Structure 1
Amino acid sequence: MFYQQSPGYYYSSQIGSSYRSYDAAVCGVYGNGKLVTGFNTSSYSANDREPPLLYSAGSSSYSSSSWKAAVLAPGFQIKQIVHQNGKFVAVGARFESAYPYHSKGAILISPDGVEWITLAINNTTYLEAVCHDGTRWVAVGKSGVVLTSSNGFEWTRTTIPGGETLTSVAAGNGYCVVGSANGKIHTTTDFVSWNFQHAVSGSVSSLAVGDGKFMALIGKRIYKAAFSPVGVADIVSQPFSGFVVPQQSVVLSVGSAGSGSLEYQWYEGASGNTSFPVPGATAASYQTPPLTGDAIYWVRVSNALGQEDSATAVLTMQYPPVITSQPANKQLEAGQDVSTSVVVTGNNISYQWFRGFSGDLSSPLAGATSASLTIPSGVAGVSYYWLRAGNERGVVHSVAMRAEVHMVPPRITGEPLDKTIFAGDYSPIRVYAEGSLLSYQWYAGASGDTSRPVPETYSSFSPPYDVPGTYRFWVRVSNSHGFVDSRAASFMVLPSLKPVITRQPLDTVAYQGVGKSIYISASGDDLDYAWYGGESGDTSALLEDYGSSFNPSVAAVGVYRYWVRVSNASGFVDSEAVNYLVKPQGTGLITSHPVDATVELGYSNSLTVTAAGSSLSYQWYVGVSGDDSNPVDGKTSSYFYPEDSEVGQTSYWVRVTSGSTVEDSETAVVKVIPRILVITDPPLDRVTFVGDGIYYYVYTQGS
């Protein structure tokens, strides 16, 4: 993230991935000597344990290691943080259940960015932005909610007209300005009356105040509005735009506010074009002459402090509806989606479809209010439908179209096939069928035996797969015209496979007091792991670690042997025993030398050195310690990933420098070994139809 610590200077900081998941959005602010950041994600609930607020202080770099989590209960998301009026204030949501959409708007307040007071606001779901206008705090959010508070603890709720989600807020020049997700901007001076100011396509993602103007970021564009004097003429409601009929006279009016006497002048044309003033039209309202075609007008409102132009009032002449294309008759299967449509010329047209013959208004179709109709097909038979279209200039009726819905008997096109799986694997069986409004019921046993129905009523069925054995299942496909039974499919569940080791544990070197894990990779279902000390197969020294990785004790220097038994219900397999060498810590500049490592081909493993000193620099070399004839280009940090693309072994060391002190590390030998080649899933029996292709699969791991 980027932040501003002083005017004109911007800095960057990285937050470690251990704090937040990859999809978290970040916000932040610098204040009181601290950088404070907040997070929100696309999916969240009260069970989320990632910290919603972090702070970092006492560091000029704000590196990923300098961040600390603020002490908060779980379940918060932070949308925006500001530091104004001597306080940090954050807004977002407080999730009060595991369900990710049950939330209340949240306000969090802190004097120092470390200790926070949290408020959950009833009758709100999410707050998006916050600011301080010099007198009060203002927070905005979903459903047009506006919250105000003089002290940050007691909040008063209002809403803007229309209830649109508010995404941003700013204050300046005596005004509070809010932006919405629909691209609209409103202003207020008293938080009672709100004035619409501007609208464009997009969401107002940010509002800012500075250099004597308001600025809005909407999409990829920035819009600016210079400060106006307090009391300047201000339009608060725009004149009407809409459709008219011939000889109609329309009263246009504008709502306005401002100090002193307000003056008005109406014009013909687009807003800002003063070429065609309307004589005598100098009031807040203007009645047009009888109209015979399209017309546009606007008004300028002014006082001694300034002026504002209204939006253009567009008056569009309506034309009578005329049907130029009638609906066509249709034949369709029950359950099939088929549409018919009518072409109508004119404008400002409303539509309504009816069941029956043309002109019969007794059976309107709910929701069928466009020029096209998806024909109801749930019942077989013949029906008629027609369209009524109209505007203020007239109404027209289409002819009635004939829709014939017929039921197609069920027919199986693809029988369920025999399957063989291992216990614990998931694999459905499926039937393919044609027909109208089909229903499915699966049964256990021979085809036609309905004594053992199973609770599956779809075209596919997932048989029980935990208990080994051979089972038979079939399905009845039916509709109102009859039914057809499938063949009985054999479903064989084999015992689960014994575990297979795909990566053995490797010899490992660690330093006293600095733990390093060893681990194993294995394939199989429901695996259990038991680690032992000693030689492979010796179960007399069971250790307290039951996962695929193991962290041996590093309290005492020495060489130790460990191995692991991997098991499931079908059996077990024992790993090789490996050496675990614990070395003493260094006493010079280098406290932990790089250590020997064994890695499998393609698995990268880092060499690391730890040193104590100031202004440390590093250079890695290939060869034995002290031989500086083969430096590794670009490898000048405390860790290094050796080449692992070929089997073999290579020696490395590192030179560490601190001022005039130089120390060469011990030699570390990296051995790259081939990966184990194992079959993890053998091929299974398969069944297919004559003429169809079939694939057999085997799954392996190794190099």
Structure 2
Amino acid sequence: AGAAASFTVTSTGTPTGYQWQVSTIAAPAFADIAGATSATYTIPATTAAQNGNQYRVIVFSCTPTGITSSAATLTVNTPVSIGTQPAASTVCSGATATFSVAATGTALTYQWQYAATCAGTFTNLAGQTAATLSLTNVTTANAGAYRVIVGGACGPVTSSCVLLTVNVPVTISTQPVDFSICLPVTGTVNGTFTVAAAGTGLTYQWQQSTDGGTNFANITGATAATLTLTNLTATMNGYKYRVVLSGTCTPSLNSAVATLTVNTPVNISAQPQNKRICSGDNATFAVTATGSTITYQWQVSVNGGPYVNVTNAGIYSGATTNTLTLTSVTTLNNGYKYRVVVSGVPCGAVNSAEATLTVNQTPTVELALQSYANITPAIRTGLFPVVSPAVGPYTYAWYKNGNLLNGVGTSPLPVSVDDFGTYTVMATNTVTGCFDVSDAVTLSDLASDALFVYPNPSSGKFEVRYYNRGGAAHTRTLSIYDSKGAQVFKQQYTLTGVYAKMAVNMVGAGAGVYFIDLTDAAGKRIATGKVVIRR
């Protein structure tokens, strides 16, 4: 368009004149072109509207009519014109980037080109020969400068250069890891959590959970790759931390969760105490301690020797607990010293104070009757304890039929027919407090047909006893006569026991010999005797 176009006809014979004609789209019939009367017709400046016009010429000669040439077509090509230039693009890696050009012209062709920068050297992109360039699954390697050469019948035109920016999504290369410390911590920096990440427009926001990871809350000002914690306390043990990463291509990405472990060093608040026991008894040593992941190991020092670990064997149990138990201790353990090593991983171990075990000898006591185990009112006996070791001093507690005899602490213990029963005695060393209880000894009755009167002679007050097998309740009548046969005393007794006492008071009676008659409830005489009253 705009260039000159010429059509020429060549003929034989003698031409006398020429008339050029044109056929257009608007007027398909051929029409004369004014002034176009030579062998050559020239259009000085073609326009796009003339594209497709046909031209012919009528050549005149000596013949009556002119000769019409064949028609020739005028093709007017349009130069390339870019109406819409490519636009710069910013995408995230993995996305599709698109550049487009809108151009006009005849016989358009396209060739997209790439360079690192607009000032660099462009090279053709193989196969990219359309008006639109689409790059799928782009990476940072695709970032750079792009342009397109638009070709046409009238020559090529190069588009403007545009840039492709490829942003990178956030990725984490190193996750936060668990952190552990022991209190107390010196200095101001107590602990750190760090994340290593990459991505375009990367930002950080650390969060903290105080409920085991159920809920997280932002930590004010914690917007760097490293979270620094200060002034840690034991209450923060188990707190969990994570960082929320954001970027141009990543709205929100949570890191792995890391746990803060604040370990408390071992602190012994209650030390083991010295123990004083008796042989055969059990003993315990206990410690009260606080700290993280506490473990215990009891140790013993024998006769001033080095401390060695105690194991759960023999007299020992609880060797790795806070309470060591010794069972059925003997005097061989007297003077042993004990301590416990309290460990708290990872903060180290602490030795407790030592405690001394004092084991005093437990006495043994054997109980025997001095003479007879079966007695009548005429026989006196006593209970005699034999204690070993003999060195005391000892106190004695007497028990009859399992009941403590209050106010009785002597040894031996005199007994009579009023004391039938089963006896034990507890001998206690008043210095060591160790004691032993004897086996049981039984004092029982000896059957007799005699009537026992005592004291005899008497001053008029005396006792009368008679054997009653089994000791069941019974009624008896005691009658007393003087030497002339006159009855001077008569009394009925309701009695229980084997040798129940019948007390008689004849203080006003004169001196002499008196005869005693004992009858049962039916009046049958069952025994007789006599008593002498002196003045």
TM-score between both structures, scaled by the size of structure 1: 0.21
Higher relative contact order (CA 8 A, sep 6+): 2
TM-score between both structures, scaled by the size of structure 2: 0.26
